[in-house]
Amino acid sequence: MAVEVVFFISVVLVFQLFVFRPQLARYSNREAEPRDAAQKQNTELTKKEGYLATLRDNLSFLKSRVLTQAELSQLVDEITNLGSSSNVEVSSIKFRTTKEKSKYTEVFVDIELQSRYREIIKYLRKLETLSKPVSLHTLSIETHKEIYPMITAKLTASALVSGTSEKEKTLNEKK
Tens-binned pLDDT, residue by residue, of the chain (175 aa): 777 777 777 777 777 777 777 776 776 666 556 667 778 888 888 888 989 898 888 888 777 777 877 788 888 888 888 888 888 998 888 988 788 877 788 889 899 999 998 999 898 888 888 877 788 889 999 987 777 788 999 999 888 888 654 444 443 344 3
- The rounded distance, in Å, linking the Cα atoms of 47 and 33 is 21
Cis peptide leading into residue 149 (ω within 30°): yes
55 and 1 within one domain: yes
Q: What is the pLDDT of residue 18?
A: 72
Q: What is the pLDDT of residue 28?
A: 67
Q: What is the pLDDT of residue 133?
A: 78
pTM for the whole thing?
0.56
Q: What is the pLDDT of residue 29?
A: 62
Q: What is the pLDDT of residue 167?
A: 43
Domain boundary (44, 64, 84) is at 64
Cα angle, residue 124 at apex, residues 119 and 130 outer, rounded to 5°: 125
Cα angle, residue 154 at apex, residues 148 and 158 outer, rounded to 5°: 155
Q: Would the CA dihedral through 156, 160, 166, 167 be positive or negative?
A: negative
Domain boundary (64, 80, 113) is at 64
76 and 158 within one domain: yes
CATH number of 103's domain = 3.30.70.60
Q: What is the pLDDT of residue 38?
A: 77
Q: Which domain holds residue 86?
A: 69-169
Q: What is the pLDDT of residue 112?
A: 93
60 and 80 within one domain: no
Question: Which neighbouring-strand residues pair with 92?
Answer: 112
87 and 19 within one domain: no
Q: What is the pLDDT of residue 163?
A: 67
